[in-house]
């Protein structure tokens, strides 16, 4: 099968979407499928990539670590014509997502969309962030989903959100999955020595992009409270981003700077080593669709303390493989971390078994099987890409329809945003 993966973020970027696209791409190729990845150009992009089409892009858009692709007419079309896709899989509704819709419509190919991100949680990267903009983003992503042949949601929570928002086409719940063997072992002692963490210390850990939508100031305050008064607890935070300085400020203010360790962004196998240097994984994000790092942490044998939110509630079972806290409360989160420290030997063994059982449910192979079943069913229902799919008149009709649906979606989103703004003004007037 010829599969096209179209994404706004990809390696060497190390965010969740990039890692998800890379993991599935590798797995498809190992099973004999051809995969073409269409992604923006990033600094330090490897020169020896195979079947990766890089599109020129604006780097570090608005101070973020994202790239924004620049449209180049004809560049993508000629590459897709040579590749002859049977499935086009879009990983974003914006930018490359519109190109994916046009490409699929032109070739009469099935279009799949994975809703990786709660996009309204990321509007602070755009000038003029407002409730109206967030409504616009929600409506646009919903409209885009309804133009696809199938939508993948990384968790049950997100599937329910999409259906409530008005996604009418079938939604399949398929988590990204984890290559368990990559995380089941690691040299944690090495990383402790490297960072100056005593081997007998209790290490609270976190992995992820260090950005405002991850609720990291709250997490830093909760961990600092758990550490206060104890010399044998350290905080290891793996990742990079603008919130690193805020985490440092919290620990400096608490006079705990010597207990904070920020080694930056790590890739495998160093990432697995870092997980194995931890004793518990702490997670406070409210903006996740899956929280892939939670599955990775459990694959490394770590219990998790998290706030109840989409992406976390499917993985963390309170009192079984960690603690899932109902509210964003610094004292409660700190207390839960202390409770993990206080587990006796038999309790810790039971949690270790529970963590391993949970990680097994997120094995990448299971997710790949599920995706390929959907691909095959769609290809059977809508074979596309045969000679008749390239007949000029029919292709132009499909292209016109795709452009019309995109414009209609934008107009509906703008109307929804404007209606909400008028409602807010009336409320203020009252």
d(CA 320, CA 316): 8
Helix (H/G/I), strand (E/B), else coil: 202? strand
Strands 57-58 and 68-69: antiparallel
DSSP state of 70: P
Name the residue among 207, 261, 196 with its Cα closest to residue 235.
Answer: 261
Instruction: Report the pLDDT value the prediction gives residue 206, as an integer from 0 to 100.
Output: 98
Task: Please check whether residue 7 is in contact with residue 57, taking contact to mean a CB–CB distance below 8 angstroms.
Answer: no
The pairing of strands 52-55 and 34-40 is parallel
Q: Give me the pLDDT at residue 418, please.
A: 54
Which tokens belong to 320?
């079984």
DSSP, collapsed to helix, strand or coil, labels residue 263 as: strand
Question: Six-digit token pair at 401?
Answer: 């329809």
If phi > 0 it is left, if psi is from -120 to 50 it is alpha, else beta; for residue 223 that is alpha
pLDDT of residue 207: 96
What integer pLDDT is reported at residue 55 of this predicted model? Answer: 84
Neighbours of 187 (CB within 10 A): 16
How much is the pTM?
A: 0.80
Domains and CATH numbers, the chain: 2-177+364-426 (3.40.50.2000), 180-360 (3.40.50.2000)
Q: How far apart are CA 74 and CA 81, in angstroms?
A: 10
59: which strand partners?
A: none
For residue 251, give both structure tokens: 């620990």
Specify the DSSP class assigned to residue 363: B
* 35 CB-contact burial (10 Å; exposed 0-12 / middle 13-18 / buried 19+): buried
pLDDT at position 251, please? 98
Token digits of residue 335: 């207390």
How is residue 108 written in tokens?
């009469």
**Alpha-carbon gap, residue 78 to 53, rounded angstroms:** 11
* Alpha carbon distance 180, 161 (integer Å): 29
Nearest one of 231, 178, 232 to 207, comparing CA atoms: 178
Any idea how long the chain is?
A: 430
What pLDDT score was predicted for residue 396? Answer: 44
Q: Which of 293, 292, 287 is nearest to 307 (CA)?
A: 287
In this prediction, residue 411 carries a pLDDT of: 46
Residues in Cβ contact with 21 at an 8 Å cutoff, skipping those fewer than 6 apart: 5, 7, 9, 10, 37, 39, 91
Which candidate, 122, 301, 347, places its Cα nearest to that of 205?
301
Per-residue tokens: 217: 């100031």
Give the burial class of 307: count Cβ atoms within 10 A of its Cβ; 0-12 exposed, 13-18 middle, 19 or more buried.
buried
User: In the chain, which residues have pLDDT < 50?
Assistant: 123-124, 386-388, 392-400, 402-411, 413, 422, 424, 426-430
Q: Measured between alpha carbons, how far is 359 from 39 in angstroms, rounded to an integer?
A: 30
Q: How far is 239 from 209, CA to CA, in rounded Å?
A: 5
């Amino acid at each position: 099968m010829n599969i096209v993966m179209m994404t706004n973020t990809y390696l060497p970027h190390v965010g969740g979407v990039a890692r998800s696209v890379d993991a599935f791409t590798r797995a498809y190729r190992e099973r004999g499928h051809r995969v073409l990845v269409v992604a923006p150009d990033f600094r330090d992009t490897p020169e020896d990539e195979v079947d990766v089409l890089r599109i020129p892009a604006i780097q570090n858009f608005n101070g973020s670590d994202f790239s924004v692709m620049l449209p180049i007419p004809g560049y993508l079309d000629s590459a897709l014509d040579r590749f002859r896709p049977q499935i086009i899989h879009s990983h974003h509704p914006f930018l490359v997502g519109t190109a994916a819709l046009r490409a699929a419509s032109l070739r009469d190919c099935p279009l799949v969309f994975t809703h990786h991100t709660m996009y309204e949680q990321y509007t602070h990267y755009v000038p003029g962030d407002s409730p109206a903009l967030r409504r616009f983003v929600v409506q646009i992503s919903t409209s885009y989903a309804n133009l696809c042949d199938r939508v993948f949601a990384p968790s049950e929570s997100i599937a329910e959100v999409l259906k409530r928002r008005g996604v009418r086409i079938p939604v399949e719940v398929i988590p990204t999955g984890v290559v368990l063997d990559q995380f089941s072992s690691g040299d944690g002692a090495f990383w402790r020595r490297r960072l100056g963490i005593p081997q007998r210390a209790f290490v609270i850990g976190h992995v992820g992009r260090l950005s405002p939508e991850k609720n990291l100031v709250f997490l830093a305050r909760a961990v600092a409270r758990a550490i206060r008064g104890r010399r044998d607890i350290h905080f290891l935070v793996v990742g990079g981003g603008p919130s690193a300085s805020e985490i440092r400020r919290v620990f400096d203010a608490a006079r705990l700077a010597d207990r904070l360790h920020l080694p930056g962004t790590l890739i495998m196998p160093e990432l697995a080593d870092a997980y194995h240097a931890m004793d518990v994984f702490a997670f406070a994000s409210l903006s996740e669709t899956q929280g892939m790092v939670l599955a990775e942490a459990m694959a490394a044998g770590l219990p998790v303390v998290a706030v109840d939110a989409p992406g976390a509630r499917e993985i963390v079972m309170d009192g079984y493989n960690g603690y899932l806290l109902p509210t964003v409360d610094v004292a409660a989160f700190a207390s839960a971390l202390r409770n993990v420290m206080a587990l006796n030997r038999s309790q810790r063994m039971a949690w270790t078994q529970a963590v391993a059982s949970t990680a097994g449910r997120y094995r990448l192979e299971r997710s790949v099987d599920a995706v390929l079943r959907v691909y095959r069913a769609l290809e059977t229902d809508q074979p596309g890409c045969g000679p008749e799919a390239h007949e000029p008149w029919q292709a132009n009709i499909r292209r016109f329809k795709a452009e019309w649906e995109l414009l209609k979606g934008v107009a509906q989103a703008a109307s929804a945003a404007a209606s909400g703004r008028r409602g807010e003004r009336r409320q203020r007037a009252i």
